[in-house]
Amino acid sequence: MKRLTIWASLTTVPLFLLGQVYLNNASFEGPPQDATVPAGWFPCELGTTPDIMPGPWGVYQEASEGDTYVGLITREDGTWESIGQRLPQALPPKECYTFTLELAHSNTYAGYNKPLGVRIWGGASKCQKGQLLFKTGLIKNTDWEEHEVQFVPKQHIRYILIEAYYKDGAFSYQGNILIDNISPIKKCVRAALE
C-alpha cells in the first residue's frame, strides 16, 4: 500500500507542474541601470528602453519581490515602451488562464511622473498584439498593488507583450509604470469569466 501511495504522489506532481507556465525572469531581476531590457525579455515598440530599478532616474522604491523591477515610460511625442517574451509552451484556445502581477507608479521618475496604465497582449508571433488579455486604468498608487489577470485565448498564444499606455483618449504625456512579480500562468475555472 505504501508503494502505491508514493507512486501515486510522484505521478501527480508532474501533472500539477505542467499546468503552470513560468515566465523567464518574471520579477525583472538584473543590475539596476537605465535603458536596459531585463534578461529574458525583448523590446517590442520602437524606442523601447526600459529601466531596471531601483536607482536610475531618481526612483528608489523597494522591489515587491527580489531586488529589482522594471519601469516603462511614455513620452510627449506619442511614443511608449513595451516588452515581450516567448512563452515556454503555447496556451491553447478555449481554456481559462490566470496570473497576477504587481504594479506601482513613481512620482520621482526624472520628469516622467504622470500615471499610466498597462495593457497585456497575447500573440502567435513576436510582439504581435493578437488579443488584448488585460487592461488597467491609470495606476496612481506608489505602493505595490497586485492585479489578477484572467483570460481565454481565442487562438494559440505563444508570446506575451506588456506595454505602458495612456488613458484612452488622452493626449501624449511623460508618464511611468512600475512592474514586478509576475506569477506563473495557471489554468482557472472558466465560469469565473462568464
Q: What pLDDT is stored for residue 19 in this prediction?
A: 75
pLDDT at 80 over 50: yes
Checking DSSP bridges between strand 175-180 and strand 114-115, what pairing results, if any?
Answer: parallel
Q: pLDDT digit string (tens) for 100-129?
A: 999 999 999 999 999 999 999 999 999 999
| pLDDT given for residue 192 in this prediction | 45
Q: Which residues contact 141 (CB under 8 A, 6 or more apart)?
A: 103, 104, 105
By C-alpha distance, which of 26, 44, 161, 160 is closest to 91? 160
Pair 85, 137: CB distance under 8 Å: no
Residue 169 has pLDDT above 80, yes or no: no
Please report which confidence band the pLDDT of residue 68 belongs to, taking 50, 70 and 90 as the band edges. Answer: very high
Contact 149, 133 (CB under 8 A): yes
Q: Which residues have a Cβ under 8 Å from the Cβ of 172 and sit 6 or more positions away?
A: 74, 75, 76, 77, 78, 79, 166
pLDDT band of residue 11 (cuts 50, 70, 90) is very low
Domain ranges of the chain: 2-193
Whether 81 and 163 have beta carbons less than 8 Å apart is answered as yes
Q: Which helix (H) or strand (E) holds 127?
A: none
Given this model, what pLDDT does residue 190 score? 65
Q: Which CATH architecture has domain 2-193?
A: Sandwich (2.60)
63 pLDDT higher than 60: yes
What pTM was estimated for this model as a whole? 0.88
Q: What average pLDDT does the chain have? A: 90
